[in-house]
């Protein structure tokens, strides 16, 4: 373990002793700690544990976000797939802000508790969010959402092959949308 990784682990342990924490698995724009900081108003890098895996789910753009004016990510149960994302350990005081970001009060997403594979260990009852009223087909992300999702995936060191798959999926949706418009 590098000195930097040890220091991050020690910081997380110190934070954990000071206040109640919960685990959160992000697979969309929340993978980007810089974007998550916009919601919480504080630096979130110290809460990043690293890349994790959600087995038996797949990604899809099954929700239209009125605020972002584009399709946004969702996870859907699929026994033949897995989703890579970012495992956070967040202070409980940020829970309500996270719910608001995910549009829980208005029925956009709902909390779901899942098992996450992180560094060979299974973390149980990790919070993630799933779309409540899924669209029948995917809607493309806009360029801003595309970039923030990819930036989060790369920043938090998701596997390169997965990042390329994510890029190709989003690019394909955008290309399909453009061909329909033209």
The chain-wide mean pLDDT, for the chain, equals 92
pLDDT attached to residue 177: 78
Nearest to 74 by CA among 122, 110, 48, 99: 110
Is 104 domain-assigned?
Answer: yes
**Each residue's pLDDT tens digit, 33-47:** 999 999 999 999 999
Is 13 domain-assigned?
Answer: no
pLDDT attached to residue 18: 82
Split at pLDDT 50, 70, 90, the class of 13 is low
Looking up residue 73, the CATH number of its domain turns out to be 3.10.490.10
Furthest C-alpha separation in the chain: 57
**Average pLDDT score over residue span 154-161:** 96
pLDDT attached to residue 182: 44
Nearest to 158 by CA among 57, 88, 86: 86
Is 14 domain-assigned?
Answer: no
- Domain range enclosing 87: 19-180
Considering Cα of 37, then 167, then 154, then 73, what sign does the dihedral take? positive
The secondary structure of residue 67, as a DSSP letter, is T
Is 10 domain-assigned?
Answer: no
Is 26 domain-assigned?
Answer: yes
The secondary structure of residue 158, as a DSSP letter, is -
Per the structure block, which two tokens stand in for 180? Answer: 């329909």
Residue list, annotated binding site for substrate: 24-29, 145
- 10 pLDDT higher than 80: no
Is 11 domain-assigned?
Answer: no
Cα end-to-end distance, the chain, whole Å = 52
- 11 pLDDT higher than 50: yes
| 101 within 8 A of 30, measured Cβ to Cβ | yes
Is 118 domain-assigned?
Answer: yes
Q: In degrees rounded to 5, what are phi and psi of residue 134?
A: -70, 140
Question: In whole angstroms, how far apart are CA 74 and each of 3, 8, 36, 110?
Answer: 35, 29, 17, 11
pLDDT attached to residue 113: 98
Q: Is 8 a catalytic residue?
A: no
pLDDT attached to residue 5: 55
25 class by beta-carbon count within 10 Å (0-12 exposed, 13-18 middle, 19+ buried): buried
**Average pLDDT score over residue span 75-103:** 98
**Average pLDDT score over residue span 49-59:** 98
> What's the rounded Cα separation, in Å, for the pair 95 and 148?
21
Split at pLDDT 50, 70, 90, the class of 31 is very high
Catalytic residue among 102, 138, 160, 161: 102
| 56 within 8 A of 77, measured Cβ to Cβ | yes
For the chain, what is the domain count?
1
Nearest to 91 by CA among 17, 8, 7: 17
**Each residue's pLDDT tens digit, 93-151:** 999 999 999 999 999 999 999 999 999 999 999 999 999 999 999 999 999 999 999 99
- 181 pLDDT higher than 60: no
Is 170 domain-assigned?
Answer: yes
């Amino acid at each position: 373990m590098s000195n930097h990784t040890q220091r991050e682990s020690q910081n997380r342990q110190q934070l954990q002793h000071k206040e109640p924490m919960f685990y959160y698995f992000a697979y969309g724009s929340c993978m980007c700690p810089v974007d998550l900081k916009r919601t919480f108003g504080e630096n979130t890098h110290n809460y990043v544990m690293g890349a994790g895996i959600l087995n038996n789910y797949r990604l899809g753009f099954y929700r239209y976000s009125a605020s972002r004016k584009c399709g946004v990510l969702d996870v859907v149960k699929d026994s033949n797939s897995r989703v890579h994302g970012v495992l956070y350990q967040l202070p409980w005081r940020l829970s309500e802000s996270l719910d608001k970001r995910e549009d829980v009060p208005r029925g956009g997403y709902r909390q779901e508790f899942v098992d996450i594979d992180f560094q060979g260990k299974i973390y149980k009852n990790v919070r993630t969010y799933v779309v409540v009223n899924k669209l029948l087909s995917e809607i493309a992300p806009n360029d801003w959402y595309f970039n923030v999702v990819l930036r989060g995936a790369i920043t938090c060191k998701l596997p390169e092959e997965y990042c390329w798959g994510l890029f190709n999926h989003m690019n394909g949706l955008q290309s399909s949308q453009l061909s329909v418009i033209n």
